[in-house]
Structure formats: structure tokens, C-alpha cells
């Protein structure tokens, strides 16, 4: 369902990852902001998993935005200290005006 007037309330910064070689055979990932978008953010689910002997909470969200060419799997949305990693993207309507993104909130 496409968003109605006023439903895109969250201002998110879209970031893309860039890998930079450190000269020693390793790469460092940095994030570059490419756009500021208004979005609807809806929580979808919560679960826990054990990682390195400790429980880690995972929260997924559905983020709806107007179509933007840089929104793709592997990018992320940032809102303040909150980071939402894009796992999947789909067209929300036949006119391809909106995108629905399945995102996972990065926990630190």
C-alpha cells in the first residue's frame, strides 16, 4: 500500500559503503551520505540470537521511501544514532514511485 499524505515523517540519511585499502592487504569500510529522504518506518519483528556467547537482539523494520536510484541492498539509512541496514528492496506500486525496504537495525 502506498503511503498517504503526511506518512513519510522520518528524515533519514541514505549512506553507501565504500571499501578503502589500508595498504596491508586489508580493507576498511566507511560510509558516505548520498541523500536525505523522508520515510515511513514500521517495526516488523524482533528476535534474539547468540553471538560470541552473548544474546544479541535483532529488530527488523519496513522502510518506505520515494524512489531513489541509490537505494539498494547493502546501503543503510541513518536517523541520529539509529542505523537501518537494507536487506531487500521492492517496488511498492506499479508506477514505481515508492520503494519498500526490509531493514535490520544495527545493534552496537
What does 44-108 look like in DSSP terms, one character per residue?
EEEEEEEETTEEEEEEEEEEEEE--TT--TT-EEEETTEEEEEEEEEESSTT--EEEEEEEE---
Query: Which residue in the block uniquely carries the three cell numbers 506518512?
Result: 7
Predicted local confidence at residue 48, as pLDDT: 77
Question: Is the pLDDT confidence value at 86 over 80?
Answer: yes
3-state secondary structure of 24: coil
What mean pLDDT is predicted for residues 85-98? 92
Q: What residue ranges define each of the domains in the chain, with the CATH number in brackets? A: 10-105 (2.40.10.270)
pTM for this structure? 0.83
* d(C-alpha 102, C-alpha 73), whole Å: 9
**Per-residue model confidence (pLDDT) at position 54:** 78
Average pLDDT of span 11-25: 89
Percent of the chain scoring above 90 in pLDDT: 61
pLDDT at residue 108 in the model: 60
Please give the pLDDT value at position 58: 82
**pLDDT per residue over 45-72, tens digit each?**
887 777 777 777 789 999 999 999 999 9
The Cα–Cα gap between 94 and 108 comes to: 37
Amino acid at each position: 500500500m502506498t503511503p498517504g499524505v503526511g506518512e513519510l515523517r522520518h528524515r533519514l540519511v541514505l549512506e553507501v559503503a565504500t571499501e578503502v585499502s589500508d595498504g596491508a592487504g586489508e580493507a576498511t569500510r566507511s560510509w558516505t551520505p548520498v541523500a536525505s529522504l523522508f520515510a515511513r518506518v514500521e517495526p516488523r519483528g524482533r528476535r534474539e540470537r547468540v553471538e560470541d556467547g552473548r544474546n544479541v537482539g535483532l529488530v527488523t523494520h519496513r522502510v518506505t521511501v520515494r524512489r531513489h536510484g541509490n537505494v539498494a541492498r547493502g546501503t543503510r539509512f541513518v536517523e541520529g544514532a539509529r542505523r537501518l541496514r537494507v536487506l531487500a528492496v521492492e517496488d511498492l506500486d506499479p508506477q514505481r514511485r515508492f520503494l519498500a525496504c526490509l531493514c535490520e537495525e544495527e545493534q552496537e
